[in-house]
């Protein structure tokens, strides 16, 4: 288990960090909470001490004989600051150290994750933009804040991501053992979920895709420093921390959003399951069941092949990852798709009821346009996503 420092900045979102602390401790990690003085005005030291089982102080003058301003950072396996305020990030970017948390940030040799929370205007201010860029350039993982309700009646970007998603992000960073953020400076697009094609106002054609594998690709890319655009089709999971989410419904919605986002991306991972067909006509009223009468036939037309369109449009240097969900002759069908879609890699899954869809683990074979074949045994979808990102990075060069 890891030794984690949980820094708490002085923002109203400090109360959410109690849930993050619980997730760390219940997983067996040792957590030292280091709040700022302002943070203690939102949540008191007894709360942090009781939840962590560790002493809590915000000044370098406490327990001086133990030299905490140096020891805490040097002994940590991971430092997570949530919420990270604009003031705290400004201090970190400029190397200021006037309390226990800022000195800890200066002495930490482990991965450092900052989860900002502030009003939109503060996040978008030129000073904050410059400070975030400086921190990222130094290897600090600054998570993109979520969009939503802020303090008071305001709504916008600057909300602290869901604590469970910050925890998932932190676990991926730990799993990589402090490896470099090798996707830093890259923009990646990931699609997830299954599209739905309306038949009438209450019915649709769809598929079993849960979106879990696509979300795993988004989480792992963000933990490796990428700017991630996640295009989610009918997925109900919380937004991954540090990811910009675009929600879509139909295959045509997915096509438009993906083509737009992919235009300037370094890599596109087509993990969504778009419906191959849609009803030729939409019934404006609910189709009624009539006693003794057979149901009316539903004529279908073929939806566009989004991955193939992206392959045709692919700019030089972009890596396209397609998916092949097959129930038979998987590799042969996938090889044909790899060529037809002009993809660089294709992830092949044998799918079916209680197989891949909705599960937390996956087994896959990845075929490369260079003729390579990489087998991946059953593993978590996050681990599989990380392994595929390794292949993508080789393609990026």
Distance CA 14, CA 22 (A): 13
Q: What are the tokens at 210?
A: 């849960």
Quote the distance between the C-alpha of residue 209 and its chain's center.
18
Token pair, residue 60, equals: 């370098």
**115 backbone dihedrals φ, ψ, rounded to 5°:** -110, 95
Residues 6 or more apart in contact with residue 293 via CB below 8 angstroms: none
Are the C-beta atoms of residues 195 and 206 closer than 8 Å to each other?
Answer: yes
Q: Which residue among 207, 303, 349, 362 is the active-site one?
A: 207
- Cα atoms in the 13 Å half-sphere on the side-chain side of 360: 0
Nearest to 279 by CA among 198, 215, 343: 198
**Site of tokens 């910009």:** 244
Residues in CB range of 268: below 8 A, 6 or more apart: 188, 189, 190, 191, 258, 262, 310, 318, 319, 320, 321
d(CA 117, CA 146) in angstroms, rounded, equals 8
Question: Would residue 207 show up in a list of annotated catalytic residues for this protein?
Answer: yes
Which CA distances in Å does 240 have to 1, 30, 164, 222? 23, 24, 9, 9
Would you name the residues annotated as active-site residues?
207
């Amino acid at each position: 288990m890891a030794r984690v420092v949980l820094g708490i900045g002085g923002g109203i979102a400090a109360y959410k960090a109690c849930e993050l602390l619980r997730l760390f401790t219940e997983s067996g990690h040792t957590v030292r909470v280091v709040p700022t003085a302002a943070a203690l005005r939102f949540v008191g030291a007894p709360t942090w001490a009781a939840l962590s089982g560790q002493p809590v102080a915000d000044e370098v003058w406490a327990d001086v004989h133990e030299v905490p301003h140096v020891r805490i950072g040097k002994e940590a396996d991971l430092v997570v600051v949530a919420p990270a305020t604009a003031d705290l990030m400004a201090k970190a970017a400029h190397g200021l150290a006037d309390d226990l948390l800022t000195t800890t940030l200066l002495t930490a040799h482990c991965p450092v994750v900052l989860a900002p929370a502030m009003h939109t205007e503060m996040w978008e201010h030129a000073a904050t933009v410059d400070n975030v860029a400086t921190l990222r350039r130094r290897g600090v993982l600054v998570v993109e804040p979520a969009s939503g309700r802020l303090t008071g009646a305001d709504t916008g970007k600057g909300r602290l991501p869901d604590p469970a998603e910050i925890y998932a992000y932190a676990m991926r960073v730990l799993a990589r053992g402090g490896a470099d953020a090798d996707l830093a400076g890259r923009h990646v697009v990931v699609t997830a979920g299954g599209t739905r094609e309306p038949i009438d106002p209450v019915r649709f054609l769809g598929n079993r895709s849960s979106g879990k594998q696509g979300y795993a690709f988004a989480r792992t890319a963000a933990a490796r420093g990428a700017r991630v655009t996640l295009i989610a089709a009918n997925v109900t999971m919380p937004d991954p921390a540090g990811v910009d989410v675009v929600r879509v419904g139909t295959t045509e919605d997915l096509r438009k959003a993906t083509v737009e986002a992919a235009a300037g991306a370094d890599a596109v991972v087509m993990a969504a399951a778009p419906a191959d067909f849609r009803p030729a006509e939409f019934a404006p009223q609910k189709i009624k069941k009539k006693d003794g009468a057979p149901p009316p036939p539903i004529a279908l037309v073929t939806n566009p092949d989004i991955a193939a369109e992206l392959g045709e449009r692919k700019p030089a240097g972009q890596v396209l990852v397609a998916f092949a969900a097959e129930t038979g002759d998987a590799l042969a069908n996938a090889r044909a798709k790899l060529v037809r879609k002009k993809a660089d890699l294709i992830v092949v899954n044998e799918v079916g009821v209680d197989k891949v869809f909705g599960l937390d683990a996956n087994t896959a074979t990845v075929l490369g346009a260079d003729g390579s074949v990489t087998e991946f045994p059953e593993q978590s979808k996050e681990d599989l996503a990380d392994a595929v990102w390794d292949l993508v990075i080789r393609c990026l060069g």
